[in-house]
Structures are given as structure tokens and as C-alpha cells.
């Protein structure tokens, strides 16, 4: 199939551009995907290039941004790395890992990225588009842009905004965030910086995150339409549903929606935190309050502490040591605290971390081998090749349960020595996926390589009940609502709210 020759035959793609990062493109695409699915269409999400450490692994072991996986769920389809053919995973110091079609193919500095990766990047985007259309000829792509489409110092090498829009002749929607202020300047400035052939692709404007009486913006809406000659197709109110942030910086703004929690969870805010969507199921537990820990403190106020995944485990373990948080975590464990490490967090809970190939941030430090927190008798050696795969296993602690999730990590973790078998036990029937130990007098230390562990309802319920028991709270015998059902409900609520305030009629062909 020659895609360029058949552009006029495909269902017109819808592309969501933003006046800035954080304008609401991801949620808008998610909502449109579900709206179109409900209308009987065949929507497929697409983002040519994303920069995020919040990743997901498809069934072929390919990495992609979690936001595109969530959008695929909204479409009712299985996520695939083709939906996000370029993923850049920041490593700090303006260096990123480059992932094409789910596979890691190198690293780059920001300075060299477009010189070295622009042409192969555009080729992999076109290859993905061709493949999607060959398998799904009746689909409608719902495309997400990145940042602003008119960063003038970058626009000549833009891979994922107007280049894609023009290539596919997409109908574009421009989303702006009124909460940030300056909404008129955002819209007019963005459109004025576009070339005439680019501006004519913009068929609608969405005002996002409006607070108050929508009728009060009628005059503003009329002004925008008269000035731009583009219809305002939606004014979306402020929505309260919790979705994973695209950027780890946004985690600092996330606040619990529940006012009477029985359990307080502390999550260490690592400088290179990754896969923070692991905690979305906890965000949706009404009995739980989540707090982010950024500096050394007494951890006794928390009922359990989580050390999350990390893009640079060595670097983040050095941060824990220098900040005093390693000491705080050890003291917390000595005082009957409950600790859970996920992926990089599991590795940090061990005794040693060795990085002979400079894969996990040791290149900027004098040592390639450092001490971990030392609460589990495990040693980790980072390898050249990354392991990415979906997981289907069975847990033996804190309950017997079927477990689904995925792995993304460098390195192999093993028992420190033969005597370690007496000190810790395995969490899963697959022996290399996680370990735990019970502390004399109370408390547990556990670690797992499985991302998405809390999406497993029985496992999550039993782990929370373990914590409740340690607090002398009544055990929750009632089965909680499946997290995946909750996620579906959140997506439906999002789509319903958008549908009330959004007119997409003119976007169908």
C-alpha cells in the first residue's frame, strides 16, 4: 500500500494540537477515542513521538508511552508500539534513550537528536502509519501532537505535529488551557505563527478546563470565532477524574480526592522516577491517601512506603543516600514499617548495585558498584540489554492469585548468597519476579519487578488488608471493584463530559 497515494481514500484523521504542553491534548484524544468507539467507528490513537518515562509494554515486548496505551483502552483495542513509534525516555543531563517501534536503539543528546535521528525518525513514523492502515483500512486515526506546534526554533525539524498533519491531510483541533490564563493570546499567537496551508487544517478550537458558568464565556467565544474564522467546537469544564500525568513534574500537583482516609501511603519522589501510573489503582481507593516524599523526614506517619521505578537506578540510589532518605527508610523498617519496592525500587532495596555497562546512571559518578539500602539480601548487575515483556504469573504472598503486568528493566537480581534463602521468600511462582521478608515484631519489606502489580485486584486487596491488620483496622472482606472496571468508568465519564460540550459533527466524512 502506497499510503501517500491513498490519503484521499482513508477516513479523515482527527489531530489534536495544543497551544502548549499540558493544554489537555492527551485527555482530549482519550475522550474522542471513546466517543467515536461508542458511535460505532474504529478509532486508533497515534502519537508519532512522545517523551516520557511513564511507559507500557505491548504484547510483543515493545515499549510505548502509557498515555497511548490508555487511549487504546479507550478505543477498546490492544495497545501496540506502532501507536507511538518514537519514544524518548529522558535520562538526565539532556540525554535520552531512543526507542523506535518499541525497541531501544541507542541514546542521544538533545543537541544531536535531530542531526542523527530526524530522518530515521520520520521513516519509522511513516512505516507505522502504513502498517496501521494496512491492517485497519476502515480506521480513523486520532492523533496527538506534542507540546506546541509552533516552536519556531524547532519547527523545521518537527516530527510529530504539523508534519504529520500535512502528511495525512488531517482535520486539526487546537486545544488551549484557560486555567493558565492568556487564552486569547495562546490561540491567536499559535495560529499567526502557522503557515497558511497549516492554518487551514485547523477546523476547530477547544477551550479546556473552564471553571464557572459556561455562558459567561459566550462573548469570548464569539470574539475568537470572528477573529480566527474557526469555530469554537467545545468549552470543556474543569473535570475532577484522576488520570495519570504525562510528566513526572505533574505528580507534585496531584492531590488525593478522598477526605477520610484510613491508610496513608508515602511514595518516594525519585529524581528519575518512571512508571508512576503503577499507583493509579491506589489513587482510586477511597480508604487511601497518597503523599509524595521529596526529602529526608521521619516516615512513621506512613502506613506503608513505596519506592517506585527509576530510569536511572544508580543515580537515584545515590540521591537516597545523600538526602538521608536511605537512612530514613532503614529506620522506618526497624520500627515495624511496611515497604514495597517496584522495579528500580526493588533493586535499591538490595545490598549492591553494579553497572558495568553504564546503563543506569553510573557514568556520571566515580563508582560503577554501590551499596543499596540493604533491607533485602539481593544483588543486581545491570546488563547491556533491556528486558521488556508482559507477565502472566501467580502470587503466593500475600495471597494466591493470578497476576498480570509487565517488566521493563536492565539488570538481573539474584540472592546475595546461599544463606539468603533463609532470610527472604519469593512472592511469585516465577522465582525471579519478587521477594519479601517479614520483620520480627512486625512489618514487611517486599520488592517486585512487575509494573501494574496494583491493577491485580485480589493481590492489591490482600496487601492493603495486610496493612490494615497491622493498624488493627477491620479487614475489608468485601471484594473491591475491579480497577480495570474503574478505569473504564473514568474513561466513560470523561467521554460523556466531553460529549456534552463538544461538537464533532463537522469532523466526520
Contact 297, 403 (CB under 8 A): no
CA distances to 156, 166, 365, 414, 428 from 432, in Å: 47, 48, 29, 7, 8
- 95 DSSP β-pair partners: 92, 109
Dihedral (Cα; 403, 405, 409, 413), 10-degree rounding: 0
Contact 164, 8 (CB under 8 A): no
Answer yes or no: 75 catalytic.
Answer: no
Report the 10 Å Cβ neighbour count for 479.
Answer: 9
Answer yes or no: 501 catalytic.
Answer: no
Per-residue DSSP letter, 201: T
Phi then psi for 157, rounded to 5 degrees?
A: -125, 25
Sign of CA dihedral 43, 49, 52, 53: positive
Active-site residue (options: 33, 100, 139, 451): 451
* Orientation of helix 218-228 relative to helix 183-192, angle to 10°: 10
Active-site residue (options: 33, 75, 139, 343): 343
Contact 176, 183 (CB under 8 A): yes
Closest to 24 (Cα-Cα) out of 58, 67, 62: 67
Cα–Cα dist 469/476, whole Å? 10
Cα–Cα dist 98/101, whole Å? 10
* Orientation of helix 66-75 relative to helix 483-501, angle to 10°: 80
Q: What angle do CA 28, 29, 34 make, to 5 degrees?
A: 100
Per-residue DSSP letter, 231: -
Known catalytic residues?
343, 451
Amino acid at each position: 500500500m502506497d499510503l501517500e497515494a491513498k490519503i484521499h481514500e482513508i477516513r479523515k484523521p482527527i489531530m489534536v494540537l495544543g497551544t502548549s504542553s499540558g493544554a489537555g491534548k492527551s485527555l482530549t484524544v482519550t475522550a474522542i477515542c471513546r466517543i467515536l468507539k461508542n458511535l460505532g467507528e474504529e478509532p486508533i490513537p497515534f502519537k508519532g513521538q512522545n517523551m516520557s518515562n511513564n511507559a507500557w509494554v505491548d504484547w510483543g515486548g515493545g515499549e510505548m508511552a502509557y498515555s497511548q496505551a490508555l487511549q487504546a483502552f479507550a478505543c477498546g483495542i490492544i495497545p501496540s508500539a506502532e501507536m507511538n513509534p518514537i519514544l524518548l525516555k529522558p535520562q538526565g543531563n539532556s540525554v535520552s534513550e531512543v526507542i523506535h517501534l518499541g525497541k531501544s536503539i541507542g541514546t542521544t543528546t538533545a543537541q544531536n537528536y535531530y542531526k542523527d535521528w530526524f530522518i530515521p525518525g520520520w521513516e519509522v513514523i511513516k512505516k507505522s502509519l502504513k502498517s496501521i492502515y494496512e491492517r485497519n483500512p476502515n480506521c480513523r486515526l486520532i492523533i496527538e501532537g506534542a507540546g506546541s506546534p509552533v516552536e519556531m526554533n524547532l519547527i523545521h525539524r518537527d516530527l510529530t505535529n504539523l508534519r504529520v498533519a500535512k502528511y495525512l491531510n488531517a482535520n486539526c483541533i487546537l486545544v488551549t488551557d484557560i486555567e493558565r490564563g492568556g487564552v486569547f493570546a495562546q490561540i491567536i499567537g499559535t495560529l499567526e505563527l502557522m503557515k497558511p496551508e497549516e492554518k487551514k487544517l485547523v477546523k476547530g478550537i477547544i477551550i479546556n478546563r473552564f471553571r464557572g458558568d459556561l455562558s459567561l464565556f459566550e462573548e469570548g467565544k464569539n470574539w475568537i470565532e470572528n477573529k480566527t474564522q474557526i469555530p469554537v467546537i467545545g468549552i470543556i469544564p474543569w473535570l475532577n477524574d484522576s488520570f495519570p500525568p504525562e510528566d513526572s513534574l505533574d505528580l507534585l500537583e496531584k492531590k488525593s480526592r478522598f477526605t477520610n482516609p484510613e491508610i496513608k501511603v508515602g511514595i518516594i519522589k525519585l529524581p528519575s522516577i518512571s512508571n508512576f501510573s503503577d499507583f493509579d489503582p491506589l489513587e482510586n481507593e477511597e480508604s487511601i491517601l497518597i503523599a509524595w516524599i521529596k526529602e529526608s523526614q521521619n516516615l512513621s506517619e506512613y502506613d506503608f512506603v513505596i519506592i517506585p521505578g527509576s530510569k536511572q537506578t544508580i543515580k537515584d540510589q545515590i540521591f537516597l543516600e545523600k538526602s538521608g532518605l536511605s537512612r530514613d527508610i532503614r529506620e522506618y523498617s526497624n520500627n515495624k514499617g511496611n515497604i514495597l519496592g517496584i522495579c528500580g525500587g526493588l533493586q535499591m532495596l538490595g545490598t549492591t548495585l553494579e553497572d558495568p555497562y553504564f546503563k543506569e546512571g553510573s557514568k556520571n559518578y566515580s563508582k560503577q558498584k554501590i551499596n543499596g539500602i540493604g533491607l533485602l539480601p539481593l544483588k543486581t548487575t545491570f546488563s547491556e540489554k533491556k528486558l521488556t515483556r508482559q507477565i502472566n504469573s501467580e502470587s503466593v504472598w500475600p495471597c494466591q492469585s493470578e497476576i498480570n503486568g509487565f517488566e521493563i528493566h536492565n539488570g538481573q537480581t539474584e540472592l546475595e548468597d546461599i544463606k539468603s534463602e533463609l532470610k527472604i521468600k519469593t512472592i511469585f511462582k516465577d522465582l525471579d519476579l519478587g521477594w519479601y521478608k517479614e520483620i520480627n515484631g512486625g512489618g514487611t519489606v517486599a520488592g517486585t519487578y512487575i509494573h501494574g502489580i496494583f491493577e491485580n485486584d485480589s493481590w492489591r486487596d490482600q496487601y492493603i488488608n495486610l496493612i490494615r491488620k497491622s493498624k488493627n483496622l477491620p479487614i475489608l472482606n468485601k471484594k473491591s471493584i475491579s480497577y480495570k472496571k474503574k478505569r473504564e468508568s473514568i474513561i466513560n465519564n470523561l467521554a460523556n463530559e466531553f460529549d456534552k460540550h463538544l461538537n464533532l459533527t463537522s469532523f466526520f466524512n
